[in-house]
Structure 1
Amino acid sequence: MSAIDNLPPLREVIATHQLSARKSLGQNFLLDLNLTAKIARQAGDLAACDVLEIGPGPGGLTRGLLSEGARKVVAIEKDTRCIAALQDIAAAYPGRLQIINGDALEIDPLQHLTPPVRIAANLPYNVGTELLVRWLTPPDWPPFWQSLTLMFQREVAERIVAQPGGKAYGRLAILAQWRCEARIAMSLPPEAFTPPPKVSSAVVHLTALPEPRYPADAATLSRVVAAAFNQRRKMLRASLKGMAPDIEDRLIAAGIKPTDRAEQISLEGFCALARELRRP
C-alpha cells in the first residue's frame, strides 16, 4: 500500500498495465509516491487551483498533486497505454482528474482549466524545453498560469537559473528570469527513476511576475538574445552586426562595451539594448 492514497503501488500499476518506459517518448517513471508528493508540495497550496500536468505516465505525480489537495488536475498524456492506469486514479478521486489523450505540443488546455492555474510536470525530456519556452513567451503577460513546477535534466535546470559569467548562462536564463522568479527546488539522482536516466534531474519552480523585471519589447529582446548567444564566442559588435548598421553606438548607448561577449551581459543590460534598438 502506498503512503499517500488507497491505490496500488506504482510498480504494481506498471506491471498490471504493462507500462515499460519508452525512450522514444522521453519516459522515465518516478515510482516513489512519497517523492512525487514532495514534488507536488513544491507547487504550493493547490486547494484553490487547477493544475495542468504534462506526461503523467502511470500517474505518480498525478496522485501526489491530488493527495496534496489540487482542486482539479488536467493531465495530457500522449501514450495511450497509460490511459487505463490514469482512469483508475480518476475513479479514486471523483470529479478531480481530467485525462486528455494527445500531444501536449498540439493541444490548447485553456478550455479545460479554470483560473487560478498552476503547471506541474515531470516533463518528457524530448519536449520539456520547447514547452517551457512556449509558457515563457505568450503574446500577453501575465500568462494563464501562476507558477511552473517542472522536472528537467539537471543541466537544463541550471541553465534556467544561471547568472552571467558562466557557460550555463544563455537564452533560457534570460527568458525565464525576465518575467519570473526562478529557483531549483530539489534535486533527484538517476536511481530515483525507472529506468534510470544517464543524468541527474532537478525540479525548477518558476513564479510569474506581474510584469517583466525590466521594460523591453519581447520580440526585440528575443532576437537580440538569440543573435548574441548563437555566436557566444564572438564580441557583441560582431555577433549583433546584423541588428543595426550602427550597432557599436547602440551598444555604448545601452551601457555595454562592444568588445564584451554575450555571457558577460546581465539581463538588465540586454533589456537596455533591446530598448535602444527600438529607438529610431
Structure 2
Amino acid sequence: MATIDGLPPLREVIRAHDLVAKKQLGQNFLLDLNLTAKIARSAGDLSGADVLEVGPGPGGLTRGLLAEGARHVVAVEKDPRALPALAQIAQACPGRLTVLQGDALELDVSAHLTPPVKVVANLPYNVGTELLIRWLTPGTWPPFWQSLTLMFQKEVAERIVAQPRGDHYGRLALLAQWRCEPRIVMHLPPEAFTPAPKVHSAVVHLTRLEAPRYPAPEKILGRITAMAFNQRRKMLRSSLKALGRDIEARLERVGIPPTARAEEIGLEAFCALARSFE
C-alpha cells in the first residue's frame, strides 16, 4: 500500500481535532488506510486525472487518492473541524490538494478541476443519492467527469445496478444504466467505520457512456418513469393513463404489454416508449 510520509494515524488526527462524527452531517469515518487505498484503486488509474472528493472528513480516502497518484484532488468539506487535518495533508503534498469548505450541493467546483476528472467519495449518507442524481443529469452529456466511484448504503448500491423484476429495480437503476456502466466493486461491513452505522455499505463504480445507451428524450423519459414507478404495483395502462387515451395502443406499438407493471420493463423498452412521444 502506498502511503504519504510524515502524516499521523487517523485516530490521532481525530483526537487532536475533536473530530467526533456528527449524525446530522451523515458522517461515518473510514479509518483503515488499507480500505481507503483499495477504494482509490477501484477508480482506476489516477495518475493523469483530477479527482473530486466530497466529504473527506479527517482525510483517510484523501490520503489514498494522493498516494495512488492522483494528479490533483479537490476535496469539498462542509465541516470546519476537518479543515486543519486536511491542511496537514496538503502540506505533505504541495500543490496536489485543494480543500473547499462548503456544501457540495451548492458549490460550483468546475473552476478548480482540469479534465480528465474522476469523482471518488465516501459520500455522506444524507446527500449521497441527491448528488448522484445531479451528476447523472447535467445540462449536457457527456458530463465533466469520466467516472464515479462512490460509497453508498448497500441498499442504494443495489438499486443502482438492479435489473427488471428484481426487488431493488426502479428509477435510479434506469437513470444510472441509461448513461453509465455501473457495477458494485466493494462491500464493507458496519464495523469498518467509526462510528459503526446500522447498515452495510458498498462502493459503486460508474463509467460514463459517451452517449446514452438507447436514444430517448430525457424529459419525457423522466416523466414516464416517474409515473410508472410512483404506482409500481399498477398496470402501466393505469399508471400512465394521464399521458393520453391512446396509451394502451402506444404501449402495444413499442412492444410493451399494457397489463405489465413498471418493475417488469427494461430500459430499452422505456426508451422506445419515450421516443414514441417525440
Same fold, TM-score > 0.5, yes or no? yes
Q: Which runs of 5+ in 2 are unaligned?
A: none
Which residue of structure 2 lines up, in the alignment, with residue 225 of structure 1? 225
Q: What displacement does 1:3 show?
A: 6.6
Query: Partners of 2:72 and 2:240 in 1: how far apart?
Result: 46
Equivalenced residue count is 277
In 2, are the aligned partners of 1:4 and 1:34 still within 8 Å (CA)? no
Runs ≥4 in structure 1, deviation > 2 angstroms? none
Query: Partners of 1:137 and 1:162 in 2: how far apart?
Result: 19
RMSD: 0.9
Q: Which runs of 5+ in 1 are unaligned?
A: none
Q: Deviations over 1:95-118 (max 9, x none)?
A: 000000000000111111000000
Which residue of structure 2 lines up, in the alignment, with residue 209 of structure 1? 209
Q: Deviations over 1:14-50 (max 9, x none)?
A: 0010000000000000000111010000000001100
Which residue of structure 2 lines up, in the alignment, with residue 5 of structure 1? 4
AA at the equivalent of 1:129 = T
In 2, are the aligned partners of 1:53 and 1:74 still within 8 Å (CA)? yes
Q: Does 1:137 align with 2:117?
A: no
In 2, are the aligned partners of 1:244 and 1:277 still within 8 Å (CA)? no
Query: Partners of 1:129 and 1:243 in 2: how far apart?
Result: 28
For 1:167, what is the secondary structure of its paired residue? Answer: coil
* Pairing of 1:56-135 with structure 2 (within 5 A): 56-135=56-135
TM-score w.r.t. length of structure 2: 0.98
For 1:178, what is the secondary structure of its paired residue? Answer: helix
Q: What displacement does 1:245 show?
A: 2.5
* Pairing of 1:1-280 with structure 2 (within 5 A): 4-6=3-5, 7-278=7-278
Q: Deviations over 1:157-188 (max 9, x none)?
A: 00000000012000000000000000000100
TM-score w.r.t. length of structure 1: 0.98
In 1, are the aligned partners of 2:2 and 2:68 still within 8 Å (CA)? no
What is the aligned-residue identity percentage?
Answer: 72
In 2, are the aligned partners of 1:3 and 1:33 still within 8 Å (CA)? no
In 1, are the aligned partners of 2:2 and 2:67 still within 8 Å (CA)? no
Q: What displacement does 1:254 show?
A: 1.3
Query: Bigger CA drift: 179-188 or 241-250?
Result: 241-250
For 1:204, what is the secondary structure of its paired residue? Answer: strand
For 1:242, what is the secondary structure of its paired residue? Answer: helix
AA at the equivalent of 2:248 = E
